[in-house]
Amino acid sequence: MSATETETFVEIGPESVIDGSHPAILNAVVKSKEKEGESWKEVADVVSYSPTGAGFYLARQLSPGQLISLMLPLPAEMRCYDHDKEFYRVWGVVQFCQKQNRDDYDSYHIGVAFTGKNAPSSYNEDPERHYRICGMNTDGLWKIEPAKSEFKIRRDVRFWQSIECYVALVDKDKKSLSGAKSVTENISKSGAAVFSTLDVNVGDRVKFICEPHDYSGLAIVCNRQNSKDGRMRLHLSFVNAKFPVESLKLVEAKS
């Protein structure tokens, strides 16, 4: 990617960052730095949380990719470390920031993905640096790396959920040539990233079938990547039907 290109930011909505959200409301102290190392601190109402992320309301507007720290009384079973301490301090990268329409004051609904106990050394060198998710660490928290350019919010929110599916290569007449069971890394209304053993190339047409959500549609292979763990990741763009993301939580509730 050249320095002039705009990096795509994978926006994560509340339902995806908070896999298994909790109904109780907590208070959290949110901290970060701005220009010339100036620090700020605010108290936020945490309305949803999980071992990998949290959603909260804040008076301050934040930007996707911004790194912040939180200190909150997260339940011990939700922590990856410091289980016996009263407060859990964890760093997180902002995934979305949505302004709330309130008559008396402005507030923002913010979602963060937890990244670990300590900030990366690059943050201390440049607190204004922004980051992007690039995988998961062995402790189950999100792995991040510095963003190379400005973020571009995706048109559709991507939900980071592993969903069983079936991907089949089709010919020009939409007849299946070969197929394989696969699993999504993330999914949105307009596309998905899936781990699959199917031998396809960029530009191929495939059929994407997801029985748990009663979905079947055609997709174009936009990219294919070899993951560090050896798995092949296919990036698909749906062409004839939107995926019903509103059904994601419904299926979870039934199961």
Segment among 14-18, 36-40, 58-62 with least mean pLDDT: 14-18
Q: Please tell me the pTM assigned to this model.
A: 0.55
Segment among 17-21, 53-57, 114-118, 217-221 with least mean pLDDT: 17-21
pLDDT score for 233: 87
pLDDT score for 37: 67
55 near 14, Cβ under 8 Å?
A: yes
Measure the CA–CA gap between 100 and 90, rounded to whole angstroms. Answer: 25
40 strand-pairing partners: 32
The pLDDT of residue 19 is above 60: no
> For 165-207, what is each residue's pLDDT tens digit?
999 998 766 666 788 999 998 898 889 999 998 988 878 889 9
* Buried b / exposed e along 162-196 (16+ C-beta atoms within 10 A): ebebbbbbbeeeeeeeebeebebbbbbbbbbbbeb
Eight-state DSSP code of residue 248: H
Among residues 253, 9, 2, which one has the least CA distance to residue 130?
9
All domains of the chain, ordered by start, with CATH?
Answer: 7-153 (2.40.10.220), 164-251 (2.40.10.220)
The pLDDT of residue 160 is above 90: no
